[in-house]
Structure 1
Amino acid sequence: MPTFEHYNKSFLNGEWTEGKSERTGDILNPYDESVIATVKLATKEQLKEAFETAKRAQKEWARTSAEKRRDILTRAANYLKENKKDVQKTISRETGGTAVKAEVELGLTIGLLEQAAKYTGELYEVKKIEDPIEGKVNHVHRLPLGVVSSISPFNFPMNLSMRTVAPAIALGNAVVHKPDLQTGLTGGVILAKAFEEAGLPKGVFNMILTDLEEIGNEMLENPIPRLISFTGSTPVGKLIGRIAGENFKRVALELGGNNPFIVLSDADVDRAVDAAIFGKFIHQGQICMIINRLIIHKDLYEEFKQKFIERVKELPAGDPSDPKTVIGPLMNKNQLNKAVQIIEKAKQEGINVALEGKAEGNVLTPYVFSEVDNSSELAQTELFAPIASLIRAETDEEALQMANDTQYGLSSAIFTTDLDRGEKLALQIDSGMTHINDQTVNDSPVVPFGGNKQSGMGRFGYPWVIEEFTVTKWVSLQTEYRKFPF
């Protein structure tokens, strides 16, 4: 059994702490719905105490040296490397992720820690600025923000948690972190264990296993955190934005996506199909950056459609513990039912089913719809499932117009043999990220990751993340006597 199953408690003030609620929550394996762990839920009062603990611990942590913070982050990364097999097994069992997904998620998480260790020295960095006032010297200091409230989702829980936690800790902040309870081990326990083994001082990282019924909006409304970092749905992001605005809190929001994959008239179809298969079906389509709409120029549409469907038919589906599996289970029965409802409604509306899938347990084999209208509900819905929508564009210009015709603006992709033209067109797509001759699911700790429109606010990745997790302060020194007008 994976080591982490035995740590079925919250991690508060450096201690594994049992929840005080009378309620419990089961963490299930999405594939067979077996119970991996049962958690006694933490209460709202325990959460309030966690924020108070973080506030106290942050003051001391902010005074630690860059070297100490760097060493702890490095040791946490090394812990994940040393426990690679157990970590990947837990990812697969708890998220329904395949071997590829587990490998990708662990690699991204380690990368975040290693990159964060490199910029610990940028805290308290002083920048000198000249001033027209005689004798005045301006210093701009970069200081820790304080306490961060972190909320992560179920799909890539370890990576999307560490994306907030690592830079926050690197830059002298403390964190109260709530993972989705469905993936409490991957999204919370593994992080807590890594930092415990790394020697992080008590109270700097607090991880709470609970649900909304217990805590309500306390992660958002508590007066202590200065920033709310959330990855999840746009409706919840809007709620967080309203509450944060009322309380003058910062937000880092990575929300929904309706990501277009554009195949221009001069594209290499075979390479485009290769990329589309991965970018549509990794982790069963349960990624905010996943390809949601495949928009193909009419001259290449039929060839792309034929080759794409033939490849989709070959994708092995089933048990994610089998290394050959590509399509594992959706996260839970509710996610499966949502996907089935989308499929049935599309059929009722007469949209052509080019490839019929089927549901077996929580595993949904791929569906491909063709001749989809870009304005249809199917095309305008974030699918979060192995459902592909093929859209025909009459011209390259129309393909770009279709790509922008959405409330979202997270990721996008363009396939073309003309890279210069591709980059010019990329700048016309209203999304935070566009990838030329690649698919939409790309991430790195050294790029500005984030979305436009209703896909979110803020940017992760170095150096942009520095601004998110610090405050700047201007200190002026008047070195010569200044004469005033009165």
Structure 2
Amino acid sequence: MASAKVYPCIINGEEAGTSNFAVTSHSNPDEIIHHFAQLSVSGENIAAIAANAKQGLKDWTATPVPKRVAIFRKAMDLIKERRQEIFNSHMEIGGPTWFANVNVDGSLGQIEEYASQMSRPEGQIVQSGHNDLAMAVKSAIGPVLSISPWNAPVILGTRSICAPLAAGCSVVFKSSEKSPAVSYLLVKCFLDAGVPPKALQLVHVAPQDNPKFLEQILATGVIRKVNFTGSTGVGKIIAQECSKYLIPYLLELGGKNVSIVLDDAELGAAAGKILFGAWAHKGQICMSTDKVFVDEKIYDQFTAVLKNVAAEMVKNPDQKISQRDCLGRDKVLQLVEDALAKGASLLFGEFNKEEILKTNVIPPMIIEGVTAEMDINFTETFGPVFTIHKYSNIDDVVEEVNEHDFGLKAAVWSKNHIRALKLAKRLEIGGVHINSPTVHDEATVPHGGVKSSGCGRFNSQWGMDEFMIIKTITIHE
């Protein structure tokens, strides 16, 4: 894509923005791939966006549900027509081809599922001893501020837009400065499909202006909910800012995701899927496996299988992993250096700091011998590195996992499904997948975390309900 390309904000259906902000290649920081026209964070601009969102709520809720469904399906058609452009914009983040396809297909699945949910009953009749009729009716919570990250921008951007829209809300969508092109293309698809221009607006903000933008738009009193997907650190800032105005939030944040290999696991299948869950998209997925617990009775056997499968994965270009251009390079370097300096060792892979700094390439690694004193034991790596731990008592594993600050995803590996199910129920985790990797998300299945991994749920009826309120209506003659 030519460096002169500029992706503007879209305010009330009109392209807008002031000075251009350069977006650089994720593999070469000296290469400008395009620009975005950033919003000038002034009181006047924020007030206009808020006023539009307020009117957009009225415009969108006045749109009959069958027409909203038709608009969603038209948006799907436009995404299919513009697939190559959206695919190319995703590839600019440095991810592998397969992951770009997963993102585009996943976004279509999200829209399809939310479209199907819009025709569900509006509420229900409830018992009342004091009225002739009592109803619990669901309605849109109001204008929503949606913020999604760069690492899976198509699917995460789509759900940030279509979940509140499906509930009847208007949306102010703030892009990531690392993937503004995707956000622009997605918003255009929804607007061209027929979403009222005030009901969906796109804002690009320079990184240094993000705090000011958040504070000012929440201070207008128009935004009734914030949904954010991203790091735990930023999520905590957003939660604190929302609390000042008693604005609820949906947060899908980081994870220190774990796999637990029981002594009766199918070792070959577990090894391959664990490696995929840890190394796919360079480990830069919120659901990526960070920590693997293995029963001591099978530890040596499992690690031998794991190393063999890992070696095949790394040398086979068709495998769904990538070693290139990890954006979190310095963080991963620090975590690995700290662990090795304190006595951990590499079970698989090589660590050459000079080479990593020179090439900006972090090779996949597996680290064993990790202790509680090492930062990597409790910090999300967000890179192609995971740790492996031997255990003798499963109760100790459950206690350790439940003591973690994070609680997004876990995987359990066992041939005994009932045994695995009982273990899954004990884990304080938002999603547990038995004999499947931690990287697991579908439009029909609720997704979200607990503790420092966030609150609330995306996807299907659960995601739609996040942006609705329950209103009680009674009738008495």
TM-score (norm 2): 0.92
Cα separation, 1, equivalents of 2:411 and 2:363: 24
Cα separation, 1, equivalents of 2:426 and 2:265: 18
Shift of 1:374: 5.3
Cα separation, 2, equivalents of 1:76 and 1:148: 20
Within the alignment, does 1:41 sit opposite 2:34 as a pair?
no
Q: What secondary structure is seen at the aligned counterpart in 2 of 1:353?
A: strand
Residue 351 of structure 1: aligned partner: 344
Q: Structure 2: 5+ residue runs without aligned partners?
A: none
Cα separation, 2, equivalents of 1:243 and 1:136: 43
Residue 273 of structure 1: aligned partner: 271
Within the alignment, does 1:466 sit opposite 2:443 as a pair?
no
Shift of 1:357: 4.2
**Matching of residues 132-281 of structure 1 within 5 Å:** 132-133=129-130, 135-186=131-182, 188-220=183-215, 221-222=218-219, 223-281=221-279
Residue 113 of structure 2: aligned partner: 115
- 2:276, 2:320 within 8 Å by CA — same for their partners in 1? no
Cα separation, 1, equivalents of 2:281 and 2:39: 30
Q: What secondary structure is seen at the aligned counterpart in 2 of 1:314?
A: helix
Q: Which amino acid aligns with 1:77?
A: M
Q: What secondary structure is seen at the aligned counterpart in 1 of 2:297?
A: helix
Residue 73 of structure 1: aligned partner: 72
Residues 1:324 and 1:433: Cα distance change in structure 2 (over 3 Å): closer
Residue 129 of structure 1: aligned partner: 126
Q: Tell me the alpha carbon deviations over residues 331-369 of structure 1, each in whole angstroms, 9 at most, x when there is no partner.
A: 53xx21111111111121121122214525332111221
Residue 412 of structure 1: aligned partner: 410
Shift of 1:371: 2.3
Residue 55 of structure 1: aligned partner: 54
Deviation larger for 340-349 or 382-391: 340-349
Q: Structure 1: 5+ residue runs without aligned partners?
A: 480-486
Shift of 1:295: 0.8
- 2:167, 2:465 within 8 Å by CA — same for their partners in 1? no
Residue 99 of structure 1: aligned partner: 97
Deviation larger for 304-313 or 144-153: 304-313
Cα RMSD over matched residues? Answer: 2.2
Q: Which amino acid aligns with 1:341?
A: Q
Residue 88 of structure 1: aligned partner: 87
Cα separation, 1, equivalents of 2:123 and 2:300: 59
Q: Tell me the alpha carbon deviations over residues 267-321 of structure 1, each in whole angstroms, 9 at most, x when there is no partner.
A: 1110100111110011100111110101111122122222222332334589xxx
Shift of 1:328: 4.5
Shift of 1:84: 2.2
Residues 1:121 and 1:312: Cα distance change in structure 2 (over 3 Å): same
Question: How many residues align structurally?
Answer: 466
Q: Tell me the alpha carbon deviations over residues 63-94 of structure 1, each in whole angstroms, 9 at most, x when there is no partner.
A: 1111111111111112122222222222112x
Residues 1:432 and 1:49: Cα distance change in structure 2 (over 3 Å): same
Cα separation, 2, equivalents of 1:7 and 1:99: 24
Cα separation, 2, equivalents of 1:294 and 1:254: 22
Cα separation, 2, equivalents of 1:352 and 1:171: 50
**Matching of residues 384-463 of structure 1 within 5 Å:** 384-463=382-461
Residues 1:466 and 1:324: Cα distance change in structure 2 (over 3 Å): closer
Q: Which amino acid aligns with 1:149?
A: L
- 2:282, 2:323 within 8 Å by CA — same for their partners in 1? yes
Within the alignment, does 1:15 sit opposite 2:14 as a pair?
yes
Cα separation, 2, equivalents of 1:87 and 1:76: 13
Within the alignment, does 1:340 sit opposite 2:333 as a pair?
yes
Q: What secondary structure is seen at the aligned counterpart in 2 of 1:408?
A: coil
Cα separation, 1, equivalents of 2:211 and 2:325: 26
Cα separation, 2, equivalents of 1:412 and 1:169: 30
- 2:282, 2:326 within 8 Å by CA — same for their partners in 1? no
TM-score (norm 1): 0.91
Residue 297 of structure 1: aligned partner: 295
Cα separation, 1, equivalents of 2:240 and 2:177: 24
Cα separation, 1, equivalents of 2:120 and 2:213: 31
Shift of 1:208: 0.9
Residues 1:317 and 1:110: Cα distance change in structure 2 (over 3 Å): farther
Within the alignment, does 1:311 sit opposite 2:304 as a pair?
no
- 1:261, 1:295 within 8 Å by CA — same for their partners in 2? yes
- 1:177, 1:205 within 8 Å by CA — same for their partners in 2? yes
